[in-house]
Each structure stands twice: as C-alpha cells, then as structure tokens.
Amino acid sequence: MIIAAAFRSSLTGNQSLLVSGFAQACRGLVACVLLIFSPPVFAAQVVDIAGLFTYRPDAALLAYGVAVPTDVALFRVAFNGQKAELVAMAAGPQQSSLMRLAALSGSQIAVLYPDIGEPYRSVFTKIIEGIEDKARVRVASYAVGNKLNAQELAGELKRQNVRAVIALGRNGLRAANALEGSNLSIVAGGVLAVPESEARGVAVHSLAPDPELMFARLKLLVPQARRIYVVCDPRQNAWLMQLARTAAKAQGLELQVREATDLKTAMQHYQSIFSSSDARHDTVWLPQDSTTVEESAVLPLVLQEAWNRNIAVFSSSLSHVKRGVLFSLYPDNMGLGRNLAQVALANADGASGLVPLKDVLVAVNLRTASHLGLNLGNKPQQNFDLVFPEP
C-alpha cells in the first residue's frame, strides 16, 4: 500500500526541520512517498518501510515518550543528500483513514496561556490538547500569572530549545511580547483582537468567527436571505468588516454596515433597521462588539423586534443562541489548537496580522428556527454541535 504525504517545510538553523502537512493512509503500512517542498530544494523519495528505511525505533525519541507500538513507524529520511534531523512518524492506520504524519525535530513549541480559573481554564486546556495533538513534538505549556519575570521565562524557553511560541489569551500574548529579541516566532490565539502595538510581527488568530463561514451558514439555514445588517464599533471591528464585505460580495449578499461608537447611536441604528426591514430577505448579524452588542438593552430589543417581525438574527457569541438568535458559530478549541500548532510549525518566518476564526462549531436555536418557519427537518440535528433550547 502506498501512502502519499505532502509536506511544506522550512529549514532553520542546525538542520532541523519543521514539517507540517497531512497524509492520507490506508490499512497495511508498507511504503510511503514523501514529497518535500522547500525552495529551492525539492526532493521526492519513496520510503520503503520494510526495505530501504527499515522500521527503526529511535532511543532518543522513546526518551521523549513516543510510544512505538506495531502500528507506529518511526523512520529517518535523508534530505537532499544531507544527514537531516527529520524523523517522520507515521501512525494510526487503525484509527481512521486519515493518517497522522508529522515530524519530530530538535526544536519544540512553547505555549504561554493565562493562569486562570474554570470554566475559562477548560477552553485553554482544549486548545493545548489540540496543539499537542497536531504538533507531535514536545510541547511545553506555561501558565502565566499576573506577575512574570520575562528574563527568566526567556531563559527557560532557551533551555528548552523552544523555537516557536503559541501565546494564548491576553496574558499569553503579553508574556510573549515581553520576550523581546529572543528571535522566536510567535503565534497568538484565544483573543478577539489586539492593539497594533502588540500584534507587530505576530500572527493573531482571533476568536471572531470568519464572516465567510458565518454567511455560508446563513445561506444554508436561511436560503432566501439577501441582506445583512450589522451595527459595529469601527474601533473594534473595522478589520473584520473588511473581510465581511468581501465575504458577502462573494456569496451574493448585501452587507449594510452601520457604525456606532456609543450605545445610544447603536440603539438608533437597530431601531431604524427594524422599522424598515423586510422579513423575507433581511437579516441581522451581531458581531463580538462591546459597544453595539450590549446585553441588557440591545439584545432584548433585537430579540423582541426580530421575533415580532420574523427577522433572522445570527451572532458571533454562543450565549445569544440560548437567548434566542437563530445560530452562532463558536470556537472549536481542539481544532483551533491544531491550527495554531500547524501555523507555529510552518510559520518560522513570522507572518503577521489578524486572522479570523476558521475552526468553528455551530449552535442553533430550534425554537427560533421554527418561529421563522425554517424547516430544519432535512438538516439533521447532528449537523449542529449545540442545540437550544435545552429540553
């Protein structure tokens, strides 16, 4: 059986490789094709596990805690004629048809996450689980408290031979930013948006769901939707609205953005939106915005008007589904973790900027759907990760 794996890799010092990618596998691990792209080098090798690259457990890897049962293969491959540090590990043909294949290199990932209580801790625990799952390298996790000695942290990371830092939450990001001049690649996650000053040189993966995914889900649930109203504070959401405009256009939707920098203006916008709304084609999007999406005044108004006028409302906040909006996308923390790991492994060069959340789960309110006359019967409930109202 042939297993094909495609890798994009980048070389860093000490001939270590950070490799990310995916592999499709079938049962019966016999041989594997490795395609390694790393400009200017290109290499393709057939790795015959039974022959040329004999199944060879590595004592050093075992010391890192890598289990070597029969369905896990560790093998070294030569890279472009050099004696490389790349050790690929293929595992899990029994687990699923998707084979996990990753590289283990000399360097490792550090995760800086906030030292915080439940239930928030669980969110970060899941993200870290996702990172570990994807990274397949040693992941060092550091709970960061309010008081931290940056020098000591930098020293610790150096001792651990850390090359990439995944910073979670505001505390994590600030800790990472405090490590000036450490030549680490930083990826941030678990934050909404960050000031320019903090995002410099950092790829920030926001908790704001990607508008493209939001609108795609809207079209699926409310096929007749044509127009989306959104009231937002440009200081918080200008970057997201840019993406939203493109996404709406691509999906044939009209996006009406109303800007408000205070609650009163926001309320006026909502009132005018509802007074002139067309139940058949209009929808309202509630983004994550502390100015314009306020819980005690705005939300009751929006929910009541939407209910009375049969307007579909969707939100970027999960709890709004519980209150009565039609649907929401919320973070798939395991997926986010995997994604962050992948970016951290691949992004040694340090791409930066704000990226919306792509790893999402879906919550729906069936009561609201029924009120809007949406037939979700042929969209089975298991397509939704959370269903409200709870029985």
Partner 1 sequence: MHIKHTTLVTSLLFAGLATWAQADEPVLEEDLAQAYGDQTTITIATGSQQSLRRAPSVASVITAADIEAMGATDLDTVLKAVPGLHVSRSANSYSPLYVIRGVNSLLNPQTLMLQNGIPMTILFTGNRGNIWGKLPIENIARIEVIRGPGSALYGADAYSGVINIVTKTAAESEGTQVGVRLGSFSSQDAWVLHGGQVGPISVAAYLHAGKTDGSKEVIDSDAQTRNDAAFGTKVSRAPGTINVDYKAVDASLDLSYGKWRWRSGYKLRDDVGTGAGITSALDPTGKTQSRRMNSDLSWLDAQVLPNTGAGFSASYLYYRQTIPSPLILYPAGMRFPSGLFPDGMIGSPEFWERQIRFSGFLTYNGWVGHALRFGMGHDSVDLYRIRELKNFTFTASGLPVPAGPVKDYTNIAPYLLPQKRTVNYAYVQDEWTLAKDWALTAGVRHDRYNDFGSTTNPRLALVWDARYNLTAKLLYGRAFRAPSFGEFYSANNPTIRGNINLKPETVRTTEAAVAWQPRRDVHLNLSAYRYDARDLIRTSPNAVAGTGLTYNNIGQQTGRGLELEAAWDVARDLKLAFNYARQRTIDKLTNKDAGNAPHHLAYGSAEWRIDDGWLLSSQISRVAGRKRVAGDTRTPVADYTNVDVAITSKQGKGKWDLTLAIGNLFDADIREPSVSPGLIAKDLPQPGRNWMLQASYRM
314: nearest Cα among 213, 233, 239, 391: 213
Q: Per-residue DSSP letters for 186-238?
A: EEEEEES---HHHHTT-EEEEEEEPHHHHHHHHHHH-TT--EEEEEE-HHHHH
Closest CB 152 distance from partner 1, rounded Å: 5
My answer on whether omega of the bond before 356 falls inside 30° of 0, hence cis, is no
Nearer to partner 1, 86 or 298 (CB): 298
Task: List Cα–Cα distances, 162 to 106, 144, 209, in angstroms.
Answer: 9, 17, 30
Of 95, 97, 224, 246, the residue at the interface with partner 1 (CB under 8 A) is: 95
Site for partner 1 in 22-81 (CB under 8 A): 64-67, 69, 71-72
The CA distance from 209 to 205, in Å, is 10
Q: Per-residue DSSP letters for 50-106?
A: TTTS-----HHHHHTT----TTEEEEE--BTTB----EEEEE-TTT-SEEEEEEE-S
Closest CB 198 distance from partner 1, rounded Å: 11
Of 24, 54, 94, 268, the residue at the interface with partner 1 (CB under 8 A) is: 94
- Contact call for residue 183 and partner 1 (CB under 8 A): no
Of 39, 40, 81, 117, the residue at the interface with partner 1 (CB under 8 A) is: 117
Q: Are 339 and 307 contacting, i.e. CB atoms less than 8 angstroms apart?
A: no
Neighbour tally for 280: CB within 10 Å: 11
Collapsing DSSP to helix, strand or coil, 156 comes out as helix
Closest CB 214 distance from partner 1, rounded Å: 13
Closest CB 39 distance from partner 1, rounded Å: 30
Q: How many residues does the chain have?
A: 391
Of 88, 240, 306, 340, the residue at the interface with partner 1 (CB under 8 A) is: 306
**Residue 378, token pair as written in the block:** 């042929």
Of 115, 243, 256, 352, the residue at the interface with partner 1 (CB under 8 A) is: 115
Stretch that binds partner 1, among 15-23, 86-94, 262-270, 344-352 (CB under 8 A): 86-94
Residue partners of 65: CB distance under 8 A and separation at least 6: none
Of 32, 153, 167, 221, the residue at the interface with partner 1 (CB under 8 A) is: 153
Closest CB 44 distance from partner 1, rounded Å: 26
Nearer to partner 1, 37 or 126 (CB): 126
Q: Tell me which amino acid residue 266 is.
A: A
Closest CB 67 distance from partner 1, rounded Å: 6
Closest CB 212 distance from partner 1, rounded Å: 17
Nearer to partner 1, 38 or 234 (CB): 234
Give the number of residues in contact with partner 1, rule: CB under 8 A.
97
Query: What mask, x for binding partner 1 by CB under 8 A, covers residues 311 to 330?
Result: -----xxxxx-xxx-----x
Site for partner 1 in 193-232 (CB under 8 A): 207-208
- Contact call for residue 288 and partner 1 (CB under 8 A): yes
Stretch that binds partner 1, among 3-11, 79-87, 255-263, 301-309 (CB under 8 A): 301-309
- Contact call for residue 381 and partner 1 (CB under 8 A): yes
Nearer to partner 1, 211 or 324 (CB): 324
The CA distance from 3 to 325, in Å, is 45
